Amino acid sequence: MPKLNENFLTLEKNYLFITIAEKINKFKTENPDKIDRIIRMGIGDVTLPIAPAVVAAVKKGADEMGVKETFKGYEDSGAGYDFLKQAVSGYYKGFGVEIDANEIRINDGAKSDCGNIVDIFDNSNVILLTDPVYPVYADSNKMSGRKIIYAASNEENNFSAMPDLDVACDIIYLCSPNNPTGSAYTAEQLKIWINYARKNNAIIIYDAAYEAFITDPDIPRSIFAIDGARECAIEMCSLSKTAGFTGMRCGYTVIPKELKAGDVPVSGIWGRRQGSKFNGVSYPVQCGAAAVFTDEGQMQIKKNIAYYQENAKIIAATMDKLGYKYTGGKNSPYIWFKCPNGMGSWEYFDYLLNELQVVGTPGEGFGENGKGWFRLTAFGDREKTEEAMIRLVNA
Amino acid sequence: MPKLNENFLTLEKNYLFITIAEKINKFKTENPDKIDRIIRMGIGDVTLPIAPAVVAAVKKGADEMGVKETFKGYEDSGAGYDFLKQAVSGYYKGFGVEIDANEIRINDGAKSDCGNIVDIFDNSNVILLTDPVYPVYADSNKMSGRKIIYAASNEENNFSAMPDLDVACDIIYLCSPNNPTGSAYTAEQLKIWINYARKNNAIIIYDAAYEAFITDPDIPRSIFAIDGARECAIEMCSLSKTAGFTGMRCGYTVIPKELKAGDVPVSGIWGRRQGSKFNGVSYPVQCGAAAVFTDEGQMQIKKNIAYYQENAKIIAATMDKLGYKYTGGKNSPYIWFKCPNGMGSWEYFDYLLNELQVVGTPGEGFGENGKGWFRLTAFGDREKTEEAMIRLVNA
């Protein structure tokens, strides 16, 4: 057998959500009478169906694939059809950010690009993550044996980590609105990160997967709303949370023309990587994604987002009522709160599952600073969300 | 800017097919009157539309996504829905190979897995490729700076390279039926490769993307038809050529339970990698893929494959008539032939484009042993294929 990449053996054996699934299964086996009572507010998966305009567009795309004259084989570039890149570019324009269609690459969801983009950088680069963190950023760099350092998001800074100007790094991951903490950077805070990155010759990989949940006007929808970002940032976004695409699989990555390593454009190197290891997104899926950006599509998905935002408000109001400290709930589908009575994250997880049959995500699963904190998502049913909150209040 | 992975700077700037596209565009600009005469037999892309049973299944899947009760979010495993894995398992059974559904992972086409699978192995491993070779195998390993050695496929061995027992290696890529040479390994030849791999503790990454074109009963459809393969091989297959999925994007990778590194199952490590860097294939696409394996789907796709096979016969008959040496055409959609009059591959490419307006692929683009050879594909229109052959005969 060839020598394994030993970095894999140092990873936690299970992805966080698999551990949670196992705990739920155990509970179900031991409590068959309580299975129907379980309310899932753990994994950040959406529950509302795909918008009708999107379904119609996927079906139209499928029909085109069935007719010789409109059949589509390999995409020339694998970077996405122009009609979709133009639609994404127009979407950015809608909140005042100019992105050329050629700076956009369509992908099968942010997770793949988030994980694979680091292939184009040397393993000697130092990675800066905020902690707590979406595990994918850490794991994909641990797989290459890269050194990872952390900036703490904690109660003191409202779970919005800021850079330590005395610490150097090469690649920074930021997620705003944040998974898991629901906090979101203001324009001013992002400017500080950009200045820090440029001083360090570092790049920022900016995960904007939750941008559609932003309501405050001083929270930017894109890092490219801030001066200087085009020289140091790559932005990744996804239709998973924006339009319920978790099972449909489509997202996009923006690499500005200005982003260069010496005189080599970063987008060219990433294109070379993708040219050898990716063949583009399914044509009917791209048709569906383009429909998200039509007037009809926007109207329909905004209705869904408003539904989740209302859930978030209901959860936040419950936190207020219970006197729990929390972040998120506003500008974000996540509510991140301090476990009551000094309980640990996993202890509280077990309590919620066993006593109230509510499933959340232990903050500890996202890192050191998540210890004693807990995440609930607003992506569930209204009725079940309300019922879960009643159980919390009455407990 | 972080330090780049410098291996990227050593790669050829352009993927072969981009260079070809540029040459065609130049010809078009200089010869606007001849644009309509161009017949493309270069890139291995299919031209017949997706089968009606598949289109219907994609549309049904899209409809399900639009209804709350049948909506699908994230897949639990990201390895594919059980209904599709069972269908693939049944397909293998149809040609006498037992593969458990749990040994199958569904992907967005063989290219991604082919490129990404090496992430789980150390960069110190030595890679053995046959030459000429599908560029993806070479490029994805050059990107990690791995040492690559080659086994020559040439006129003497009918472009079916066999291992040199005195040469050691860790990871072997085999593609049978072969891209680009159209040659296909017999059971006896595969047995020699398997024995060689096991003696070296090497693994074989077996690309079976063209298995649906096999007609000879002594050419195995899967490496797992041969004893000993389950202990040393990973098989990758795709619906791209089987069912015209080049723009639909779906394939599968088989890692047998027996394949272990020490006591660690390789499928587990690959699953851990995919768990962090991949979120599964679009649900409607998986529905379409499953329809390929129904009786109706099989009947429809076999009609398409027969059409391409007839094209291959027409091209092969022309080679016979012209007295050109060639491999493939049988068990394969590719015809690989020696350029006439001692011409070089690119010289012959230019001649065909400029004089006959027929586009093929220069063998040299696939490696040293492709020099002076040329690839034509049978994936085109019948009428255009016939017309191109008439031009060759009359030239």
Per-residue pLDDT tens over the stretch B48-91: 999 999 999 999 999 999 999 999 999 988 999 999 999 999 99
DSSP code, position A50: P
The pLDDT value recorded for residue B21 is 87
Give me the CATH number covering residue A319: 3.90.1150.10
Asked if B56 contacts B288 with a C-beta cutoff of 8 angstroms, the reply is no
Chain-wide mean pLDDT for chain A?
96
The pLDDT value recorded for residue A21 is 87
Q: Contacts of residue B203 in chain A, CB cutoff 8 Å?
A: 1-2
**DSSP bridge pairs for A150:** A129
d(CA A216, CA A176): 13
Tell me: do B73 and B212 sit in the same domain.
yes
Asked if A329 contacts A180 with a C-beta cutoff of 8 angstroms, the reply is no
For the CA atoms of B187, B189, B191, B194, what is the dihedral angle to 10 degrees?
-130
B4 touches chain A (CB under 8 A): yes
d(CA B166, CA B189): 17
- End-to-end Cα distance, chain B: 55
Going by C-alpha positions, the residue among B213, B250, B242, B241 that lies closest to residue B107 is B250
Residue A208: both structure tokens together: 């904007």
Per-residue burial over A330-367, b = 16 or more CB atoms within 10 Å of its CB, e = otherwise: bbbbbbbbbbeeebbbbebbebbbeebbbbbbbbbbbb
Q: Contacts of residue A109 in chain B, CB cutoff 8 Å?
A: 279
Q: Is residue B315 part of a domain?
A: yes
Are B66 and A73 in contact (CB < 8 Å)?
no
A76 touches chain B (CB under 8 A): yes
The pLDDT value recorded for residue A290 is 98
Q: What is the pLDDT of residues B197-218, one digit of tens each?
A: 999 999 999 999 999 999 999 9
HEC string for B342-355? HCCHHHHHHHHHHH
Asked if A328 contacts A7 with a C-beta cutoff of 8 angstroms, the reply is no
Scanning B144-203 for CB atoms below 8 A from A yields: 170-171, 201-203
Identify which of B65, B120, B278 has the shortest CB distance to residue A4.
B120
Longest dimension (CA), chain B: 66
The pLDDT value recorded for residue A14 is 67
Quote ipTM for the complex.
0.96
Identify which of A65, A121, A124 has the shortest CB distance to residue B248.
A65
Q: Last residue of a domain, which of B253, B279, B294? A: B294
- C-beta neighbour count of B71 within 10 angstroms: 18
| Rounded mean pLDDT, B40-47 | 90
Q: Is residue B2 part of a domain?
A: no
Q: What are the phi and psi torsion angles at A263 (to 5°)?
A: -105, 15
Q: Is the pLDDT of residue B360 over 70?
A: yes
Tell me: do B71 and B141 sit in the same domain.
yes
Q: Is the pLDDT of residue B133 over 80?
A: yes
Are A65 and B55 in contact (CB < 8 Å)?
yes
Q: Is the pLDDT of residue B295 over 70?
A: yes
Tell me: do A195 and A140 sit in the same domain.
yes
Range of the domain at A113: 52-296
Q: Contacts of residue B201 in chain A, CB cutoff 8 Å?
A: 1-2
Q: Give me the sheet containing A203-207, strands edge to edge.
A: A104-107, A251-254, A233-238, A203-207, A171-175, A127-131, A148-152
Tell me: do A318 and A290 sit in the same domain.
no
Q: Is the pLDDT of residue B12 over 90?
A: no
Tell me: do B200 and B267 sit in the same domain.
yes
Distances (CA, A) of A364 to A28, A134, A348, A360: 23, 11, 11, 12
The pLDDT value recorded for residue A295 is 98
d(CA A374, CA A370): 7
Q: Is residue A85 part of a domain?
A: yes
Distances (CA, A) of B128 to A40, B133, B205: 49, 11, 10
Chain-wide mean pLDDT for chain B?
96
Tell me: do A253 and A335 sit in the same domain.
no
With a cut of 50, list the residues of chain A below it in pLDDT. Answer: none
Q: Is residue B286 part of a domain?
A: yes
Which residues lie closer than 8 Å to A66 by C-beta, 6 or more apart?
B49, B50, B51, B52, B54, B55
Asked if A236 contacts A209 with a C-beta cutoff of 8 angstroms, the reply is yes
Q: Minimal Cα distance from B113: which residue of A?
A: A277
Which residues lie closer than 8 Å to A345 by C-beta, 6 or more apart?
A339, A362, A363, A364, A365, A370, A371, A372, A373, A374
Going by C-alpha positions, the residue among A388, A363, A383 that lies closest to residue A373 is A363
| Rounded mean pLDDT, B112-132 | 96
Q: Is residue A172 part of a domain?
A: yes
Amino acid at A327: T
Asked if A308 contacts A298 with a C-beta cutoff of 8 angstroms, the reply is no
Distances (CA, A) of A24 to A34, A187, A251, A346, B74: 11, 40, 30, 13, 17
Tell me: do B214 and B343 sit in the same domain.
no
**Residue B138, SS3?**
helix
Tell me: do A368 and A337 sit in the same domain.
yes
The pLDDT value recorded for residue A263 is 85
Q: What are the phi and psi torsion angles at B264 (to 5°)?
A: -95, 120
Tell me: do B280 and B367 sit in the same domain.
no
Quickly list DSSP for A285-310.
HHHHHHHHTSHHHHHHHHHHHHHHHH
The pLDDT value recorded for residue B14 is 67
Q: Last residue of a domain, which of B266, B294, B322? A: B294
Distances (CA, A) of B193 to A3, B130, B149, B158, B169: 20, 12, 15, 16, 12
Distances (CA, A) of A250 to A111, A289, B34, B57: 10, 7, 39, 20
Asked if B112 contacts A278 with a C-beta cutoff of 8 angstroms, the reply is yes
Residue B128: both structure tokens together: 């053995």
The pLDDT value recorded for residue A234 is 98
Give me the CATH number covering residue B227: 3.40.640.10
Tell me: do A288 and A372 sit in the same domain.
no
Q: Last residue of a domain, which of B244, B265, B294? A: B294
Q: Is residue A110 part of a domain?
A: yes
Mutating which of A119, A124, A179, A301 best tests the B interface, going by the most B Cβ atoms within 10 A? Answer: A119
A65 touches chain B (CB under 8 A): yes
Q: What are the phi and psi torsion angles at B236 (to 5°)?
A: -120, 135
Asked if B103 contacts B80 with a C-beta cutoff of 8 angstroms, the reply is no
Quickly list DSSP for B211-262.
GGG---TTS-SSGGGSTTGGGTEEEEEESHHHHSGGGT--EEEE--TT-EET
Longest dimension (CA), chain A: 66
Q: Is residue A2 part of a domain?
A: no
DSSP code, position B272: H
Are B283 and A247 in contact (CB < 8 Å)?
yes
Q: What is the pLDDT of residues B244-280, one digit of tens each?
A: 999 999 999 999 999 998 888 999 999 999 999 999 9
d(CA B211, CA B241): 9
Q: Is residue B1 part of a domain?
A: no
Q: Is the pLDDT of residue B222 over 80?
A: yes
- Alpha carbon of A217: minimum distance to chain B alpha carbons (Å): 30
Are B49 and A66 in contact (CB < 8 Å)?
yes
Domain count, chain B: 2
Distances (CA, A) of B244 to A62, A81, B69, B382: 13, 19, 31, 16
d(CA B215, CA A172): 53
**Within 13 Å, how many C-alpha atoms sit on residue A172's CB side?**
31
- Alpha carbon of A269: minimum distance to chain B alpha carbons (Å): 7
Tell me: do A187 and A312 sit in the same domain.
no
Tell me: do B118 and B157 sit in the same domain.
yes
Asked if B250 contacts B24 with a C-beta cutoff of 8 angstroms, the reply is no
